[in-house]
């Protein structure tokens, strides 16, 4: 076949005329039926016309003609994936990888298939392998980061940190980048990418939907409503999935307007987006709760948690083994004898150390963070698992934390502090005249490591009635597998709460850190006084600035915690005794919680009128 014939076919494809390209290919194949280059161009021509079944047959023919070609096996895998035959597609992709084990593109194809087949751990490992082979590929980095996010793997941040260098991107890839950045907590970047994409591609409905979702999260509620109305006006809701997504977002906006009844009606009418849409049931439970429907809320939550547990079983199977901890590290202990064996090291003083806000989730840690961030001499950052990341890095070297923390010497601790600071600076533009505030509730379980690196650091321990904490956690759609699994049932949550508290109290006795206990009920009852006490503990003047946290939190936009809608409002008493209407469900938990109720002085009323759900 002549080069001129090939050029005519390629020219037709370049002119977006796949019908002519197909015709020219078929003419050539009458003369040379097994001409590989023409078969490949024929398959491309068929794909351009959405004739996927016909294209698949051509790709399959190429694998028979060239069984040792990774390219043809990879193309065949793509065609099978588009046709919906994922099992056969993965087999073809594995063949391509076996033929070209160092080809990042073939590894990426396999990883995407594993992801689509709900094999997130396998997809992550394959896509990270693809990244090692092709570290400059934006597509591979984005897809690997997406898989890491799905597995709660902190390497997602590192994979995406150079994203601006990749622009402009093809629309599907830019959408995936925006979605992945949003899930890592970088809402500003997601907004920038989505707004650009919608300007370039006004008909890109998924981008509009995601942009509306981000606008709601950063408190641009009117813009979110306008985007949703535009989708409706353009006829987008004729697609059932789009219709459900719009309804879900309208329900969230109704909740923000204080109309849980309207939100509940929208959600019950639309139903979940897909079989794994646990977020639908969490949102429905919140609407039912605010509308006074205790029984309906608990029913929705049971479905939500069943879905969530099924999802995380595929990601963290080890946490379902017999004897697995309710929370990672909650069972670990550093004894007083262990502590006495630690060598004395140089470390920052209290003023040069971060202020750590800890406590069981939903105890008021985000409220405290926003209050402290409003002080000019303090700077908070988005909640990140920095100590998990550092411990994982040590684990890669064979050092297990906390069991072998005594092996850390001066150089080790200096390097870990540098690593901590590097991680912090990657998440927030550092103001060097301000002291860092690190809010991560379950840092309460990392006290041994924190004390080794920052022995003079001060802690603010957030405390709230255990029953209110447990109900609030049960109603949250946690992205963290550890928290999601601990919240799988009220009984499991109660035991996880006690385990976390026992771990914290034990290590407080061992290390004797400087701790201020901030009781949520006291903060609500007398905010000015409690704020002054916190300022005195931190040796700060100007406590009044912390009372103006709500406007500052609203200006910050994205707050990556479940309480993002509450901390932009002034303190109120709505969060007190929320569990009372659910007391029938809490009765079996009280024996488990009694030691902590007694320890912190909380009481449970003696009701004579059990309620009916």
Would 604 be classed as within a structural domain? Answer: no
Q: What is the pLDDT, as a whole number, of residue 415?
A: 95
Would 429 be classed as within a structural domain? Answer: yes
Count of CB atoms situated within 10 Å of the CB of 268: 15
Residues 10-64: tens digit of each pLDDT? 999 999 999 999 999 999 999 889 999 999 999 999 999 989 899 999 999 999 9
Would 90 be classed as within a structural domain? Answer: no
Q: What is the pLDDT, as a whole number, of residue 22?
A: 95
Would 37 be classed as within a structural domain? Answer: no
Those residues whose C-beta lies under 8 Å from the C-beta of residue 118, and which sit 6 or more positions away, are 314
Strand-pair partners of 463: 519
Domain enclosing residue 434, as ranges: 336-582
Residues 553-586: tens digit of each pLDDT? 666 555 555 554 554 466 767 778 999 999 999 9
Q: What is the pLDDT, as a whole number, of residue 567?
A: 47
pLDDT-based confidence at residue 277 (cuts at 50, 70, 90): very high
Q: Answer for the pair 458, 516: CB distance below 8 angstroms, yes or no.
A: yes
Nearest to 8 by CA among 24, 22, 26: 24
- CA distances 450 to 144, 444, 459, Å, are 30, 9, 10
Dihedral sign from CA coordinates of 65, 67, 68, 74: positive
Would 317 be classed as within a structural domain? Answer: no
Residues 65-76: tens digit of each pLDDT? 999 999 999 999
Would 452 be classed as within a structural domain? Answer: yes
pLDDT-based confidence at residue 82 (cuts at 50, 70, 90): confident
17-24 contacts, C-beta under 8 A, 24 or more apart: 18/44, 18/45, 18/46, 18/48, 18/49, 19/45, 19/49, 21/45, 21/48, 22/46, 22/49
List the CATH number of the domain containing 538: 3.40.50.300
For helices 138-150 and 171-183, give the axis angle rounded to 10 degrees. 40
Would 420 be classed as within a structural domain? Answer: yes
Count of CB atoms situated within 10 Å of the CB of 29: 16
pLDDT-based confidence at residue 392 (cuts at 50, 70, 90): confident
Please state the rounded mean pLDDT for residues 580-593. 94
Would 498 be classed as within a structural domain? Answer: yes
Residues 411-425: tens digit of each pLDDT? 999 999 999 998 888
Number of domains in the chain: 1
């Amino acid at each position: 076949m002549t080069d001129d014939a090939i050029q005519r076919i390629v020219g037709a494809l370049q002119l977006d005329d796949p019908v002519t390209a197909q015709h020219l290919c078929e003419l050539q194949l009458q003369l040379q039926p097994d001409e590989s280059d023409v078969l490949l161009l024929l398959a491309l021509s068929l794909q351009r016309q959405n004739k996927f079944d016909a294209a698949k047959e051509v790709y399959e023919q190429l694998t028979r003609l060239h069984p040792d070609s990774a390219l043809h096996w990879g193309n065949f895998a793509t065609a099978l994936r588009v046709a919906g035959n994922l099992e056969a597609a993965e087999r073809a992709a594995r063949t391509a990888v076996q033929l070209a084990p160092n080809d990042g593109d073939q590894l990426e194809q396999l990883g995407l298939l594993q992801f689509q087949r709900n094999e997130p751990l396998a997809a992550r490992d394959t896509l990270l392998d693809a990244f090692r082979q092709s570290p400059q590929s934006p597509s591979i980095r984005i897809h690997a980061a997406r898989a890491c996010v799905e597995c709660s793997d902190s390497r997602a941040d590192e994979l995406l940190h150079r994203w601006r260098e990749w622009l402009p991107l093809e629309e599907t890839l830019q959408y995936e980048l925006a979605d992945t950045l949003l899930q890592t907590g970088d809402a500003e970047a997601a907004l920038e990418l989505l707004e650009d994409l919608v300007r370039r591609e006004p008909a890109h409905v998924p981008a509009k939907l995601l942009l509306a979702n981000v606008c709601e999260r950063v408190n641009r509620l009117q813009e979110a409503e306008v985007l949703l109305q535009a989708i409706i006006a353009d006829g987008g809701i004729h697609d059932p999935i789009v219709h459900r997504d719009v309804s879900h977002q309208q329900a969230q906006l109704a909740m923000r307007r204080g109309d849980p009844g309207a939100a509940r009606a929208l959600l019950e009418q639309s139903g979940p987006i897909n079989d794994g849409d646990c977020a639908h049931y969490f949102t429905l439970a919140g609407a039912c709760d605010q509308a006074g429907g205790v029984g309906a809320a608990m029913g929705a939550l049971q479905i939500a948690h069943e879905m969530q547990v099924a999802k995380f079983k595929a990601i963290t199977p080890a946490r379902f083994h017999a004897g697995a901890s309710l929370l990672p590290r909650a069972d670990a202990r550093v004894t007083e004898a262990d502590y006495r064996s630690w060598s004395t090291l140089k470390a920052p003083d209290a003023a040069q150390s971060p202020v750590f806000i800890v406590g069981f989730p939903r105890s008021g840690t985000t409220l405290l963070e926003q209050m402290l961030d409003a002080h000019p001499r303090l700077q908070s950052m988005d909640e990140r698992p920095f100590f998990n990341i550092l411990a994982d890095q040590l684990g890669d070297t064979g050092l297990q934390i906390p069991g072998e923390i005594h092996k850390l010497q001066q150089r080790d601790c200096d390097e870990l502090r540098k690593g901590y600071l590097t991680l912090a600076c990657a998440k927030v533009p550092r103001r060097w005249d301000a002291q860092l505030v690190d809010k991560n509730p379950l840092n309460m379980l990392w006290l041994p490591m924190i004390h080794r690196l920052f022995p003079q650091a001060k802690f603010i321990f957030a405390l709230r009635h255990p029953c209110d904490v447990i109900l609030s956690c049960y109603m949250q759609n946690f992205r963290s597998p550890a928290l999601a699994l601990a919240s799988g049932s009220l009984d499991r949550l109660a035991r996880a709460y006690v385990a976390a508290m026992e771990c914290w109290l034990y290590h407080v006795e061992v290390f004797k850190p400087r701790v201020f206990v901030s009781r949520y009920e006291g903060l609500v009852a007398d905010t000015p006084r409690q704020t002054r006490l916190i300022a005195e503990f931190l040796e700060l003047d100007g406590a009044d600035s912390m009372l103006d946290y709500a406007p500052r939190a609203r200006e910050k936009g994205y707050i990556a915690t479940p309480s993002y809608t509450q901390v932009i409002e002034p303190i109120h008493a709505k969060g007190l005794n929320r569990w009372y209407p659910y007391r029938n469900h809490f009765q079996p938990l009280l024996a488990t919680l009694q030691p902590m109720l007694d320890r912190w002085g909380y009481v449970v009323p003696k009701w004579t009128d059990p309620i009916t759900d």
